[in-house]
């Protein structure tokens, strides 16, 4: 069994070892565990729209995220365009697709690319 981090006697207070903050292998282990476990983002009653930016989680996951509801399936997606990294969704909305305000790439609410303006005639490139 591991030693408790907090001692009942406050005079024995200690901090985490500095390696906890600087060791890349510890960070990777933490990141992998976060990707394989459930994370609380809020109660379902808080999400009234089909697309909802998760601004309160940006600091936790170090990237902007959105919660979407597509065909009664909830997804958490990156809130950036795959082209230039533009933020896709600034506020909650009931739109049926997500469109980048920069160049107009359009995504389904499950994250699938739906349309890329200017690439309609390009062979072997998804549009």
Domains of the chain: 44-115 (2.102.10.10)
C-alpha span between 45 and 43 (Å, rounded): 5
Q: Cβ–Cβ contacts within 10 Å for residue 106, how many?
A: 16
What's the pLDDT at 7?
A: 67
Residue among 28, 33, 3 at smallest CA distance from 17? 3
Place of tokens 């739109």: 95
Ramachandran angles phi, psi of 77, nearest 5°: -125, 160
Pair 5, 20: CB distance under 8 Å = no
Per-residue pLDDT of the chain (127 residues; tens, 9 = 90+): 556 556 677 676 666 677 777 888 888 887 787 777 787 888 888 888 999 999 888 877 778 999 999 988 889 899 998 887 889 999 999 999 999 998 899 999 999 989 888 777 777 665 4
Total residues found in the chain within this entry: 127
What's the pLDDT at 3?
A: 60
Residue 73 to residues 51, 58, 80, 110, Cα–Cα distance (Å): 12, 22, 20, 8
What's the pLDDT at 125?
A: 61
What's the pLDDT at 126?
A: 56
Pair 74, 68: CB distance under 8 Å = yes
Pair 41, 76: CB distance under 8 Å = yes
Question: Is the pTM value of this prediction over 0.85?
Answer: no
30 sits in which H/E element: helix 24-35
What's the pLDDT at 16?
A: 64
């Amino acid at each position: 069994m591991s030693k408790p981090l907090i001692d009942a006697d406050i005079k024995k207070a200690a901090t985490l070892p500095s390696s906890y903050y600087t060791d890349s292998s510890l960070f990777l282990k933490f990141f992998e565990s976060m990707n394989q476990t459930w994370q609380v983002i809020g109660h379902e009653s808080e999400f009234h729209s089909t697309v909802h930016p998760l601004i309160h989680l940006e600091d936790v996951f170090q990237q902007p995220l959105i919660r979407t509801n597509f065909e009664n399936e909830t997804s958490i997606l990156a809130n950036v365009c795959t082209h230039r990294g533009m933020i896709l969704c600034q506020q909650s909305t009931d739109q049926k697709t997500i469109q980048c305000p920069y160049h107009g790439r359009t995504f389904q609410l499950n994250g699938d690319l739906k349309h890329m303006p200017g690439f309609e005639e390009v062979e072997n490139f998804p549009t």
